[in-house]
Amino acid sequence: MRRAAAISLLWPGAALACALPPSIIMTLPTGYYMAGAAATVAVTGLLAASPNLLPRMEARVLLRRRVLIPVMASSYAAWVLFLALVLIGFIGARDPMHNLLTLTIWTVVWVALPMGCMIFGNLWRAVNPWTAPIRLTRQLLGRSTGIGLARLGHWPAVLGLFGFFWFYIVSMSPDDPQTLATAALSYWAVVFALGVLEGEDWLEQGEFLTVYFGFLAKIAPFWLERDSTRATVKYGWPGTQVLHMPPLSPSAIAFVTLSLAGLTFDGLRETFWYMGLIGENPLEFTGRSAVIGVNSLGLLVTWALTATTILAALRLGPLLQSRPVLAFAGGAVPSEKRPNLMPVMLSFLAISAGYHAAHYLTTLLTAGQYTLAALNDPLFRGDDFLGLPPFYVSMGFLTDRWAMTLVWNTQFTLILGAHILAVILALRLSPEGVQARAHFPLTALMVAYTVLGLWLLASPGG
């Protein structure tokens, strides 16, 4: 009864996965922000008419150095750390905000690390807890061949990502340390077994975290390229690396659309609009147990809609082409001469990255404090491993007008920046000879996505 109340005003982490309390954001002129962002993305799309104005995206070398820590060593250390965290999950504090496993997975691995990858490149490669165990095991077993898993493309990763989103967004208690420890250890074991059979290189296409972090890292303005002894740090415009990627395979397209859909649904399911749709009172939300079925369906439908609209835009664009891609004289354009816009799919990596950062910003600021506190004093004995001054976890900024205006503007910048980048990448990825008009459907979709992303962040959520 009465309690189903003011709470969402403040909500520090309705799960480590909750949206921010929109109370202050609701009083900001978010409609103008959305209109401005939509106009900006649309105008950026007009660059299709004058491609020479697009930024030249070239990689430059920042420095070269010797490899300091071999991946095998850091991966092995990460694996040991992972096992320690799983142990903490099983025997540590039952309170998820005091348990390092829960905090590490949901604030470090799923929030801080992706943000790091978007800036500094593929940090995951160094801390992948499978690489070393798989390679060592294969060496011990004398295995050098695979079992043909590579033929499945990215589909195993798609399955993994769907399972992950379902566990995180839909299942009843993803924060519960024991539940999480069981899930994490089981997933690790399955991937380990498959990796031993197929080889550690398979992780790059079959393990969803490796794939996801690898994709996010393609947006980074700084990145590392390494061979066995030398490492080269490069820099360039965000997205520069994307231009050098091969077009995505169908399974990789499924992966990218699912990653967008999962993030979208994670925001959507908390909005008053969605709550109304499924007949839940957001002020008296019954709890996850009551919506497992409908949210499972919601996740699938969101994926279907996301994939359909993106693929439709990519297919519709070429139909608007009025002349052949290569200079051809007159007449109707035969279908084989129409441009293929599928390589443009890669531009959606920018949207994935921007939305990930914006959506989880408040999680980082709220649950991140618990993580710092737990790292500083893991056993709650008064230790001070990080040398931090004593502090209480504090959520005051969530009700502070200045702070929340800053948070909103940061999210706005991330979403808008990501979509502008996506439009630019889309134009750069287009084959030669594509007319500006062929970009219209895609640009329109990007505008819609911009508004949707901002609307999700601005909407009141339960």
Q: Which residues bind other proteins (CB under 8 A)?
A: 1-16, 18, 21-24, 26-27, 93-98, 172-173, 175-176, 272-273, 275-276, 281-290, 370, 373, 376-377, 380-382, 389-397, 399-401, 403, 460-462
* Alpha-carbon span 449 to 454, nearest angstrom: 9
What one-letter code names the amino acid at 109?
Answer: V
The residue (of 13 and 114) whose beta carbon lies closer to other proteins is 13
Closer residue to other proteins (CB): 205 or 459: 459
Shortest CB 209 distance to other proteins, Å? 23
- Least distance in Å: CB of 305 to other proteins? 22
In three-state secondary structure terms, 182 is helix
Which two structure tokens, joined as six digits, stand for 284?
A: 């008296």
Q: How far is CA 118 from CA 179, 277, 288, 352, in A?
A: 29, 34, 31, 10
The least CB distance from residue 21 to other proteins, in Å, is 6
Nearest to 162 by CA among 257, 239, 23: 257
| 356 in Cβ contact with 265 (< 8 Å) | no
Tokens read off for 72: 């095998």
For other proteins, the closer CB: 244 or 381: 381
CA 429, CA 433: separation in Å to the nearest integer?
Answer: 12
DSSP category for residue 105: I
Beta carbon nearer to other proteins, 100 or 196: 100
Cβ-in-10-Å burial (0-12, 13-18, 19+) of 5 comes to exposed
- Cα separation, 34 vs 48, in Å, equals 22
**DSSP state, residue 66:** E
Closest distance to other proteins from the beta carbon of 169 (Å): 13
Q: How far is the CB of 384 from other proteins (least distance, A)?
A: 8
Residue number with CB closer to other proteins (122 or 459): 459
90 or 188: CB nearest other proteins: 90
- In three-state secondary structure terms, 174 is coil
Q: Which is nearer to other proteins, 58 or 284 (CB)?
A: 284
